[in-house]
Amino acid sequence: MSAISNSLTNQSIPAFDDFLASLGPSAPPETFLERANVMLARDIPIIPLLPKSKDPCTRHAAYDATSDPDVIDKWAIQYDPTSNCAAVASFDAFWMVDDDRGTLAAKYKADTGQDLPSTFSVKTSRGFHYYFDSSEEFMGKLRLR
């Protein structure tokens, strides 16, 4: 299959069938700061979560979301290093799709005849999280499909 462009990083990534194989044996990030840096590199706002939980560490939860490296560094010191990291959607920045079954790309292809738009994706224990840039340029490309 041919490679497609990743709209968030401008890197070429394999088409979906080859995408799973491309994940390979690379070790996932284990600390809050490692997880945060993956999102920070893409300017995706995050909040820290309690370890092995979806409960926020911060008082105002999603309202505290940031991509400010200074705040994230403070959180890395303030909270348990094994804290999780949650991306926070924003209408003017990013939105996410949680594919717990891991079948979204195949279902989208079957229903539309098109590949799921290429984007930054994270393999989870049950499926994938897809992160989409909601800039006018990217959203315009989706509307043209």
- pLDDT number for residue 94: 77
**List of the chain residues with pLDDT < 50:** 1-17, 19-20, 23, 142, 144-145
- pLDDT number for residue 16: 46
- pLDDT number for residue 1: 34
Q: How many CB atoms lie within 10 A of CB 19?
A: 18
Distance (Å, whole) CA 40 – CA 63: 17
- pLDDT number for residue 70: 96
- pLDDT number for residue 136: 59
